[in-house]
């Protein structure tokens, strides 16, 4: 797949392993596989202390999901080649800023609140302008994440302003 300078994507199958798409796919795949192998060395929790799933289960599920989605994106890049951009767009930098804010809110206020702020701001910076949808996302998404971790995985959220009301 040669790089097509005009469109910024891939053109033919002659240099399949040297395309940008393959390099990104390969790096993510190698990292994910090595992290997946590393999960086999996690300690197992005895059944009497187990509050849900074993420590290695959730990372394994996430890594398999990452590998599958990366493979799908690589496959789709054959049909719709990536466009080469000179500069990163503004939403990218705003997303990095929001994740920094997420860490600060998580550390000093509340994890649940941080997820709500993160979901609101990410949706807003990536183009959603309908306030009702932004509010719904910032309320429903943290609740869904909380229910998933609390009931399915059996894991508690870290204590904070909002979470302390639930656990007390």
Output the CA–CA distances (angstroms, integers) from residue 101 to 37, 51, 67, 118, in the order listed.
Answer: 32, 31, 28, 8
At residue 22, does pLDDT exceed 70? Answer: yes
Per the structure block, which two tokens stand in for 82? 């990536």
Spell out the residues 6+ positions from residue 153 whose beta carbon is closer than 8 angstroms to its own: 52, 53, 58
At residue 16, does pLDDT exceed 70? Answer: no
DSSP letter assigned to residue 16: G
At residue 18, does pLDDT exceed 50? Answer: yes
Write down the pTM of the prediction.
0.65
At residue 91, does pLDDT exceed 60? Answer: yes
Tell me the pLDDT tens digit for each residue of 68-86. 999 999 998 888 877 777 7
Query: Greater confidence, 30 or 43?
Result: 30
Q: Mean pLDDT, the chain, as a whole number? A: 85
Spell out the residues 6+ positions from residue 80 whose beta carbon is closer than 8 angstroms to its own: 9
What is the share, in percent, of the chain residues with pLDDT greater than 90? 48
Per the structure block, which two tokens stand in for 154? 């059996």
State mean pLDDT over 146-165. 84
Q: Is 35:59 a contact under the CB 8 Å cutoff?
A: yes
pLDDT computed for residue 72 by the predictor: 94
Beta bridge partners of 4: 9
- In this structure, how many other beta carbons lie within 10 angstroms of the beta carbon of residue 168? 6
Alpha-carbon span 77 to 71, nearest angstrom: 10
At residue 46, does pLDDT exceed 70? Answer: yes
How would you class 138 by CB atoms within 10 Å of its CB: exposed for 0-12, middle for 13-18, buried for 19 or more? Answer: buried
Phi first, then psi: give them for residue 10, nearest 5 degrees: -105, 150
- CA 90 centroid distance within chain: 19
pLDDT computed for residue 1 by the predictor: 44
How does residue 49 score in pLDDT terms, banded at 50, 70 and 90?
A: low
State mean pLDDT over 25-43. 92
pLDDT computed for residue 100 by the predictor: 95
DSSP H or E stretch at residue 3:
strand 3-4
State mean pLDDT over 28-50. 86
pLDDT computed for residue 2 by the predictor: 47
């Amino acid at each position: 797949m040669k790089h097509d300078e005009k469109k910024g994507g891939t053109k033919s199958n002659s240099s399949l392993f040297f395309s940008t798409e393959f390099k990104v796919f390969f790096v993510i795949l190698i990292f994910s596989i090595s992290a997946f192998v590393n999960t086999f060395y996690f300690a197992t929790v005895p059944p009497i202390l187990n509050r849900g799933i074993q420590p290695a289960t959730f990372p394994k599920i996430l890594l398999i999901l990452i590998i599958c989605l990366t493979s799908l994106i690589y496959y789709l890049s054959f049909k719709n080649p990536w466009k080469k951009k000179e500069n990163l767009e503004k939403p990218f930098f705003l997303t990095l800023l929001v994740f920094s804010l997420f860490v600060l809110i998580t550390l000093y206020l509340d994890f649940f609140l941080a997820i709500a702020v993160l979901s609101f701001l990410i949706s807003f910076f990536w183009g959603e302008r309908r306030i009702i949808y932004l509010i719904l996302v910032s309320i429903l998404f943290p609740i869904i994440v909380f229910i998933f971790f609390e009931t399915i995985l059996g894991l508690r959220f870290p204590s904070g302003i909002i979470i302390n009301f639930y656990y007390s």
